[in-house]
Structure 1
Amino acid sequence: MNKRFATVILLASATTLAACAKKAPEELPPPPLSTTAPATGPATAPAPTGPTVGSQAHFEDAVNGQNVIFFDTDRFNIDSVDAAALQAQAQYLSRYPQIRITVEGHADERGTREYNLALGERRANSAKNYLVSIGVNADRISTVSYGKERPVALASTPEAWAQNRRAVSVVIN
């Protein structure tokens, strides 16, 4: 009877243990995350946004659109508003010493072609001389006069004439 009793207990134990066995899950969990550090290559700088340094757009952004100065009729003197604009340009040029500019002199449509070319030249030289007086190397600035040949406003009104009496600083490559 001992053998029978031992067999019954053994079978009961096996059945009990089988009932307690864990079932496999229906879905496996994701694999563990790697704990090793990723290989690091050379750090790359983020791609620059905005205009390229040395471009006309970059220059205009840096001087807050003050690359144009305006003059009174038959005048080529630098007033306080013009001086502030030219100082902003000089700061830009001191920050980027490799950049050169051309100052374009313009006039309105009134007067002869020759007179307006001479007046445009005086306006361009006036802006250049002011920049040189505040520290910009003269070799970095060239001038050209377009007289009345390149108007930005085409009407024959005092407002249009005022827009055309100007000196424009342009980055050259």
Structure 2
Amino acid sequence: MNDIKTLEDRLRAVEDRLAIYNLLASHPLSADTGEPDFIESIYTQDFVFDRGAGLSGARGRDKMVDLVESDAHRTAIAGGLAHFGNFPLIELHGDTAVATSYIALITTDEKGEERELANHGTSTGFRVHRIVANRWSLARENGRWSIASRTVLPMDGSGPALEMVRKAATYYADR
């Protein structure tokens, strides 16, 4: 009977990871479209968004909706904003989880030299505006994973971002 429980636990962990991968993969789409219903469907009611010093964040799902509906964010979207993420490292803890990842903020390079790529048209290219480290806290609510908080720090060589990434680097230390 223990083998069945172990198998059930293992299957639950696989299902949880897949659900969290899908959830975090949806974040760039929600940020780049600014669709309020999308935002409301992936964040907890008391969601906290911490973008570090110098950038405003949000406290509460409604404030996150306000942030992505702001004129400034709409201007960024209209300018070709694209959030490009990597696979996160996920630490499961029952009905909560923590994930660490990077996101590159990419935008069109209107000052770039126009180039043609065979069968793909012409473009002035894109530029990486910045790369950020993310620490996501997730919670299972009503059988579904949601984002409870997110800390975002620029990968600029400064201490705070490196410390946040170092927390994830200990994941395999006890395994």
TM-score with structure 1 length normalisation? 0.29
Larger relative contact order (Cα-Cα within 8 Å, sequence gap ≥ 6): 1
More strand by share: 2
TM-score with structure 2 length normalisation? 0.29
